[in-house]
A and B are shown apart, each in its own frame.
Chain A
Amino acid sequence: MPKLARKKKDLNDRKRKLSTEGRWGFLMVSPYLLQFLVFLLFPLVASLYFSFSKYDMLNPPEWIGIENYTTLVQDPVFHKALWNTLYFTLLFVPAQTILALLLAVALNQSLKGLKFFRIAHFIPVICSWTVVLYVADAILNPRFGLANTILLKLGEKPQQWLSDEALIIPVLVAVAVWKGVGYMMIIFLAGLQNVPEDLYEAAEIEGAGIWKKFRHVTVPLISGTTFLVLVLTTITTFQSFEQIYVMTSHLGDVTSAGGPNNASMVLMLYLFQQGFSFLKMGYASAIAWVLFIILFGITMIQLKLQNKWVYYEK
């Protein structure tokens, strides 16, 4: 049976080839694998271990079981931080997504000076938060700021934009939208440019106006992009730290960040404060894991829901 023998030989050859290929493949990815082990897996496992221990960084960690987590459940500041983070996200994600989409649609026309406007909207994205803070201060400064000057002109009472418990999160969201909208706008622009022109033409022949074209052609065709934007924005909001750290560390004193009266304390800030300012690394690790689980959950839900509304062109 020469035919069968050859087949067998062929199979063996392929197997050998595969295994050397596999080895080479393994070798090729080994730098990445090493990087993954050292910089991702190890810290991940370490932080999980720390989250079950009392660890002040200066002394070795001491195993205390789930105590950090039970403390978290009863910690009023943690509750507040959790709520503030959700509140921030609920305001920020829709505001930024809708605004970015509208801007992208507006700047996707063929108009004169379009590049200028695109760049103008992108500038805040490149600026560091410290720079943004200075610009924001020109508007929000209680004494010299533009906002209060206008309020006074209108005969209204001036506001303490950054030291009013009720105002602080909306104000921070407004500034964050101003800084971040340009980036999402660029992503939307890329999505918009992939919508085939002939679909609009077809819609026009059917008698669709601007709104109908937007609603029935643009929105479904860029739903993939919208999904990406939503996921990215949600994740960055949960991780928002720098802005709040810079804008609320009142009176040059960083431990005061998150004020007034913890009204702007968000999870990342609380994690940083507990870990690095107060040396409670174990507790901070527990916060990090809770944050991870929440984010993971939300992203999973978003992924599940995408089947319902995201349209991918086959």
Chain B
Amino acid sequence: MNRSCKLGLFLLFSMVLTLGLVGCSNESSSDGKDSDEKVEITLGYYSSGSADEKMEELIDQFEEKHPNIKVKTQNAPYSQFFQKLDTQIAGNNAPDVWLSDGVLVSKYAERGAAKDVSEWIERDLNKDEYYGLDFNKDANGKYFAVPQGIQIGALFYNKDMFDEAGVDYPDDDWSWEDLQEAAAKLTIDAEGNRATDSKFNEDAVNQYGMTFFNITEGWMPVLKSFGGGVLDEELKNSVIDSPENEEAVKWMVEGMEKGILTDPSDLQSFQSPMSPFPSGTAAMRIGIYARVLAANETGINYDVSVLPKGPDGKRFAPVIANSWIVNNNSSDAKAEAAWEWVKFWVTEDDVQKEWAELGEAVPVKKSVANSDLFLNSGENKINKQAFLDSFEFAGTLDTNAVWSEWLQKFNDNINRAFLNETSVEEALKQADKEVTKVLEDFYKK
């Protein structure tokens, strides 16, 4: 064998090797033809520390029950998880089933990455038995995901602070006006003056009546209960520039000017915008269910109530249904196996109970959510019924395919109104213009 022949062989060999490696990464899209054969599915989820162990346990249980399905897991911290997921979808090697933040479901659904599971839901689930299924329904009534756990908003309040100020605890009758009145009595400056005193200094607040930020735990519930909102029912057009929104935002700006609601720059003083309530710097907050964990951890004496009603008696509780999505590009066998996992998750009482014990979310299955296990668990007995009652007037955050993009535009503008850099009218007009452009770019081209 002469030299050039050896060289050729070597090059050929290295090419084969490279092709082989490239080939391997596409393996996940190959078909598992026979349903009796073992199917291996990949399950992706974002980690949340303590919950990971439980997830692994539940997966083991699932594999025991379904000996023909093997589950491979992929997890990462929240933001990395979704970045990786997008790249994986682009490369056609995304997990066969993954956990999606509720606000991102339409992003995947409207771009064709999530499988339409409507038929399977009809076949295998009794829709009345579950919370939150409808929050994943699109405008055409199709389902693209099944909830894994539900986050729903309610009003958290610090009982000790209310007692000290001699203010009655919030109840079902509260309007946002009542809330602001109470909040004024609960706001204390560095000198110990309350916001109701004339000597009160709104530039040096030590205790806020209410902490307030962001969409879910800030402006969205207020806008909606005042009769406003961001998008129309179709979720394709902006309704930002409305008198209802103007009234709602004025209510917020007024509270911030008086120093009884935290404004965005107040919140910058804290390591996390979540911390004023659990650390005892604010007497109230709008909080989703998961905020119970932090509040319990710091040991403050608190309870929850339904959110206040708007001027016309309308109420609104924000909902985020974190959900399982089945990959639209998975082979039939893998998708069926992935669906088995979803079914296992929502229908099995044991799974629902074990997950509920972590206290991260309201269980999807109504029977478990309404059981003692959920309602009366934990050392801190709070009115968890308030979360369940809130389902009657719950809604999503106007999530659509370009949610994060319009949200950024809206936040930018409303924050300027909050910081008094622009008028409420001007901010809403500008937000309306920018959000409309985002929507048109995506939907009307």
What residues make up the interface of A, taking CB atoms closer than 8 Å to B?
Answer: 20, 23, 27, 30, 34, 56-59, 137, 141-144, 160, 162-163, 250-256, 259-262, 273, 276-279
Contacts and interface: CB of A to CB of B under 8 A. Distances in A.
B202 to A, nearest CB: 14
Interface in B369-410: 402, 404-405, 407-408
B7 A256 contact: no
Residues of A contacting B: mostly: loop
Contact of B14 (A30, A137, A262): A30
Interface residues of B, number: 41
Given A58-B111, A142-B269, A163-B265, A20 B412 contact: no
5 contacts: A57-B90, A58-B90, A251-B268, A253-B411, A277-B404
B404 A141 contact: no
Interface string B251-267: 00000000000001111
Given A58-B113, A142-B268, A259-B415, 11 more contacts: A20-B3, A57-B87, A58-B89, A141-B268, A163-B419, A250-B268, A251-B267, A261-B421, A277-B404, A279-B86, A279-B107
Contacts, number: 83
B272 interface: yes
A232 to B, nearest CB: 28
B413 to A, nearest CB: 9
A278 B213 contact: no
Contacts of A252: 272-274
A22 B83 CA distance: 44
Nearest to A143: B269
Interface string B294-336: 0000000000000000000000000000000000000000000
Contacts of B86: 57-58, 276, 279
A56 B264 contact: no
A255 B271 CA distance: 18
B269 A59 contact: no
A307 B108 CA distance: 55
A273 B264 CA distance: 21
Contact of B404 (A57, A160, A255, A260): A255
Contacts of B14: 30, 34
A58 B112 contact: yes
A284 B415 CA distance: 26
Nearest to A256: B411
A40 B405 CA distance: 30
Contacts of B408: 255-256, 273, 277
B18 interface: yes
Nearest to A34: B18
Given A141-B268, A143-B269, A256-B408, A59 B419 contact: no
A250 B113 contact: no
A163 B268 contact: yes
B30 interface: no
Nearest to A61: B90
A260 B11 CA distance: 55
